[in-house]
Each structure stands twice: as C-alpha cells, then as structure tokens.
Amino acid sequence: MKYETLHNLSIPKIGFGCWTIGGEGVANPADDERSLTALRSAVELGYRHFDTAEYYAAGHSEELLGQVLCESGKPREAFFVTSKVSPEHLAYDDVLRSCAASLRRLGLETLDLYLIHWPVRGMNLPETFRALNQLVREGRVRALGVSNFNLKLLKEAQSLSETPLLTNQAPYSIPDRSYVENGVLAYCQANDILLTAYSPVKSRFFRGKKLADFAREKGSTPFQIGLAWLVRQPRVIAIPTSFNPQHQADNLSAQNLELSQADMDYLNSLV
C-alpha cells in the first residue's frame, strides 16, 4: 500500500468511495446485501481508507460501512475513515449534531477526517469552522478538510482552521482538469494539502481507443492507467468506487503501476 504522509497522518493513495453504497440521495435497503458484499470485498482486498458522507443514502451508507468495519475484527486504527457534513448543516450547532450522528451511525468514537461536503452561497464559514475546530479539540475528529472548494474558499478555510487542512476533495481525472485550471492543485501541492480525486475514472474517455491501446501496452486496463496517473502525482490521492471484486482489486493494484514522465506527458496530451 502506498501512502501520503503529512501532519502526522498516513493516508492510502487509493481509497474506497462509498457513494451509492446503501443508496444515493435516499436509503435503498433492498440493495443492502449488494452494498455489504462490496464493502466486505474491499476490506478483504486491503482497502483501508473509506470515504462516506451523511448525504450518502441519507446516512445509510455510514451505517453499512460501520457494520462492515466492526465485523471485520480489525483494530480501529487499521482504518482511515472520512465523512462529510452536508451544506444545509453548516451552522455551528448543526455541524456538531451532524458529526455526532455520523459517529453514531458508523459506530466510531472518532473520525479520521471530516469535510465540508459542498460550499453553499451565503454560508458563514467562520461559524462552521468554529464548530469544526471544536470537534478537533474534543477529539471527535482528527483532521479537517473541505470538498469542492475553489481557490479563494480554500484559502479562507485554511485561515480559519486551527489545525492544518488535510484535503480538498474535488473531481479530478485525466479528462477533467478543472482543478488544475483553477489553480487549486498547484496550491495544494505547494501547501501540503491533499487533493482527493473523486470520480477519478468516471468518463467515456476511459473507453477510447488511444487509451485502450496504451493500457494494453502496459498490461493494464484504462481504469488502472487513470488511477496510476493520479497517484503518481504528489499530494494526490483517489477514491474510486466499484461493486465488482475484480474491479476493486484492479483499482487497488493501480498504485503499483509505474508510469514514466514520458507516459505522463502522453496521457496529458490525450485531452
């Protein structure tokens, strides 16, 4: 397993995203067995960073993840667990309630990482961080981060956090360079902030012939190439999602695929 280590924390370069585990915007209990099977497979394969949110399946994703982590028999410190507070819960008291509810659903005493899921117009970021900082001081959260923040908001969040921000989670992939173009990636790399790439291989781009040919030459899949391209970059980690055990294994093993600078340049030229 490859890690990014900063601020006394080690985070796997490839984690498991829990969007659609247990449902989407609402819970789908009919899909529980499929979701539990996917989570159990991920744990058995060696995934140790799991990323969820109170929004995912209206909290049911957290419940299912908590069940699987508990039944795994592995010590709590074996896992790095991230959750997120929804944009409608960014008032001081709401943040505290949301975190307490997430911890209860997960069956945990502490979150390794807690994020603001989305910024929202008119939010009182100082009040939000007053609550987030309180959670860190009380030991309910180890590290703080944000998600989908542009550079201006990221800098503001950084100034309000009493502890170093750990990450800005954002869409990032070979075909999606929006967080390169807006300056966020370079700023994160220069300031020891992780960029956590979500939807890292969710695009028709990964079914194109040029990438398929390149992947075949490397003895890998296009999706593995997309993940290897990400994790080769400093201060970048990825959280792909899959219910298929073989795809889960392929995704995790992508961290071991070596890409040269010439390979990176070629992949960069495809879009």
pLDDT in tens, 59-90: 999 999 999 999 999 999 999 999 999 999 99
Cα Rg of the chain, angstroms: 18
**In the predicted model, what is the mean pLDDT of the chain?**
97
The DSSP-derived string for 45-80 is HT--EEE--SSGGGGHHHHHHHHHHHHT---GGG-E
Mean pLDDT by 10 residues, the chain (271 residues): 94 98 97 98 98 98 98 97 98 98 98 98 97 98 98 98 98 97 98 97 93 96 98 98 97 97 96 83
Domain ranges of the chain: 3-202+235-247
The pLDDT of residue 271 is 83
CA distance 271 to 266: 10
Strands 141-147 and 111-116: parallel
Residue 256 CB neighbours (<10 A): 12
3-class DSSP assignment, residue 25: coil
The pLDDT of residue 54 is 98
The DSSP-derived string for 230-251 is HHTSTTEEE----S-HHHHHHH
The pLDDT of residue 190 is 98
CA distance 116 to 246: 32
Q: Which architecture does CATH list for 3-202+235-247?
A: Alpha-Beta Barrel (3.20)
pLDDT in tens, 133-146: 999 999 999 999 99
Read off the pTM: 0.97
Give Cα 256 distance to the centre of its chain: 19
